[in-house]
Amino acid sequence: MNLLLKHSFLLLCITLALGANAQVKYKASVVPSQINKDEYVTLRLEIENAANLQQFKPPSFKDFNLLSGPNQEQGMSTINGVSKVYVAISYVLQPKRPGKFTLGQSVVTVSGKEYTSPALTVTVKNELGRTPSGQPAPNFASPLFDMVEAPKPSETYRDYILKKGENVPDKVNRNMQLRLQTNKTSCYVGEPVVASYKLYTRLKSESKMSKAPSFNGFSVIDLLRPDDTEQAVEKLNGREYNVYTVRKSQLYPLQAGEIELESATLDNNIQFIKEGVEMARMDGFFDGLTVSPDAVINQSVSLSSKPITIHVKPLPEAGKPANFNGAVGKFGLSATLEKSSFGSDESGKLILTISGAGNLQLVTAPDISWPQGMEAFDAKVKDEYDASTVPLTGRKTFVIPFTVSTPGEYQIPKIRFSYFDPATATYKTDSTKPISFSVIKGSTQPVYDIDTLSQKKPESISKKIFSHREWIV
């Protein structure tokens, strides 16, 4: 069994043991509870110590558009010697209209017993906020205590040798630090920023991320998989370090203002060897052999990165198209019909494709002026994008079923899709040509695909990323 599987199995056993012997708690929160009509709220539902979570029923979102969720998070924490495990589910919601609304109860079933969350109230004022992007998005991370073995560094330094008269804390400060780096500190709403948390070290240690950044105010796409760690050798203030990138994400701001990227914290168990131990034995120690306990000094150190503030500029009001709906990047729009002629007892399908680079995960379908006598239904959405590129590249396809009860010749007017191009700081619009089609008289009563012509539901965005990682350097 490899290192990752061993420790994952150990965590599972600990989690089940804790959950089996601790009291189950189910709680809900909504932040903020009062917003303007163009802003967002985050609903968070948390189940503590659920060893056997069998069923989850979310509350009704009938007064809200679901922008993101369900986003799952799980982890374990210990406070004052008391441990708990938890699973949290969060949603980003935007109100459909001003008013006072209730997010109803949700129910979870744990080991055959039902637990109910309290109902929550959200007040939506009939006013506009500073930007149409609203409140912070939740942390989309899944805090898993995965343990991975980092690749061996390309440089081996002898700073783990503790010489006579050297001070251990000072030696750690000189040879190990956690830094947050970004590719920019100013951007527009919806324009990505790349944030990298890097461990610079010349020492040997076991390290675990005990506090992950929440990235409130951003839609998050991770650039490193949970089982990946980037490794390099870099110079810092004239000295070489082995550098391990422990978290790397592209962040899409959801609102304008000064938004702080939080610090991350690594707990490190550093081992030094006193000067005078044989070189062969010293090298063997870090390969898993043993040396005299008297020759080893262990030091536990928590390292935190300094936060960085990102200046997020609002999208300009001047020149904003009436149909603009938050797309930022460079995009193109195409449209076609599945069939150009069909019977009145069939359903037609309009296929819209938005392709390009930008905040694709947040892009929604453009408005369509349907001719009289046509009834459209909820779109089926397919995302195809490369999450390793900055910004995201790919396409988003909307398959929109519709019906026409009266035979005849019809035309769907041109469809327009507007976006903001941060490279030129201007709004641009792409459009399709009008689409003509024929409807002939059907031979039977209309029979439609029930799965396709379903009740309208809001689109959702779901991403799981990690927040707790453990590795050996």
What pLDDT is attached to residue 82?
A: 57
Residue among 71, 69, 68, 28 at smallest CA distance from 48: 28
pLDDT of 88 reads 78
Phi-psi map region of 257: left, alpha, beta (phi>0 left; psi -120 to 50 alpha): left
Judged by DSSP in three states, 281 sits in helix
Element housing 324 (H / E): none
Q: Quick one: tokens of 109?
A: 């079933």
CA distance 161 to 178: 21
Domains of the chain, CATH where assigned = 3-125 (2.60.40.10), 148-313+465-472 (no CATH), 329-440 (2.60.40.740)
Contacts of 172 (CB under 8 A, 6+ apart): 203, 270, 299, 301
**φ, ψ dihedrals at 204, nearest 5°:** -105, 130
Single out the residue of 2, 11, 473, 9 nearest to residue 269, CA to CA.
473
- CA atoms of 402 and 397, how far apart (whole Å): 16
How far apart, in whole angstroms, are the C-alpha atoms of residue 454 and residue 434? Answer: 26
Find the radius of gyration of the CA atoms of the chain.
27
- Torsions phi, psi of 8, nearest 5? -65, -40
Q: In this predicted structure, what is the pLDDT of residue 56?
A: 76
CA torsion 404-405-408-413 (nearest 10°) is: -30
Q: Residue 51's pLDDT is what?
A: 64
Q: Mean pLDDT for each consecutive 10-residue tract of the chain (473 residues)?
A: 34 39 80 84 83 76 81 57 69 89 87 87 80 36 32 63 87 94 97 96 88 91 79 92 94 95 92 68 41 74 95 96 96 96 93 97 94 93 92 96 94 97 97 96 61 43 39 47
